[in-house]
Amino acid sequence: MVNNKVEICGVNTSKLPILTNEEMLELMNKMKNGDKEAREKFIKGNLRLVLSVIQRFNNRGESVDDLFQVGCIGLIKAIDNFDVNQNVRFSTYAVPMIIGEIRRYLRDNNSIRVSRSLRDMAYKALQIKDRLVNENSKEPTLSEIAKELNVSEEEIVFALDAIQDPISLFEQVYHDGGDAIYVMDQISDENNQDDTWLDNISLKEAMSKLSERDKNIVRLRFFEGKTQMEVAEEIGISQAQVSRLEKSALNQMRKYI
């Protein structure tokens, strides 16, 4: 999606700047003092995070430009709320914020709408529940509510489920003053784990810091599974040079992961 389109919202994505850790820290300190130019540079220097995130939503049929703009809102919110005193990389903090903003946008613009009759049944069920609680001083059963409405229990369940708002995986469910527990901490999805995906984001960021030759060596060695000898033959250098460049590339990548 993004790879085939250089211009998104008038932004030439192929020429977006990449900030070093030192540059990020310097700009953060300037932003704290109200430097608007530093803020602008910081935003532009992190737009690649937005590009990385919106690739995850490329099968939703949404406009890439719209997703990019919404992602930028999430990025700006992350910048405004980021605490430089916490021992957390900005990208680690910002990515969930960008994801959350895009998910809210997709939820609010979902073409699926709950029918009026289903909503009415759900609200009537809630009203009856409140009335029965007041009358009997205890929670009514599902069958009691269904009897009052003269419908099946299944219809009540379906109606109540239909009006429930989706919640973010990053919504806090518990906080005791230490580490917060989020919704995503209580569920498991072996096919689509956010931790794995965030690791992939970090890996892409680290790869972007390498020269084209070093990127090619890492790709051939670790993504295509070729030996150092095979890599050496393919790119026309010695096996010893491949070994040296590979070690140097991995050391450089570790600084950003």
Q: CA Rg, the chain, in Å?
A: 25
* Same domain membership, residue 131 and residue 74: no
pLDDT of amino acid 164: 65
**69 close to 24: Cβ distance less than 8 angstroms:** no
pLDDT of amino acid 177: 54
* Same domain membership, residue 22 and residue 94: yes
220 lies in some domain:
yes
* Same domain membership, residue 136 and residue 95: no
CA distance 142 to 13: 55
The CATH number of residue 28's host domain is 1.20.120.1810
Average pLDDT for runs of 10 along the chain of length 257: 48 73 86 88 88 78 82 90 80 86 76 67 88 87 89 83 61 54 53 56 77 88 83 86 87 75
* Same domain membership, residue 152 and residue 58: no
Per DSSP, the residues of 106-156 read: HHHT-S----HHHHHHHHHHHHHHHHHHHHHSSPPPHHHHHHHHTS-HHHH
CA distances for 249 relative to 15, 234, 237, 246, angstroms: 23, 18, 16, 5
* Whether pTM exceeds 0.75: no
21 lies in some domain:
yes
26 lies in some domain:
yes
Decide which of 44, 77, 111 is a domain's last residue.
111
The token pair at 219 is 């790709």
204 lies in some domain:
no
The CATH number of residue 149's host domain is 1.10.10.10
pLDDT of amino acid 99: 87
180 lies in some domain:
no
- Which residue range(s) make up the domain with 44? 7-111
The CATH number of residue 222's host domain is 1.10.10
127 lies in some domain:
yes
* Same domain membership, residue 124 and residue 104: no
Domain total of the chain: 3
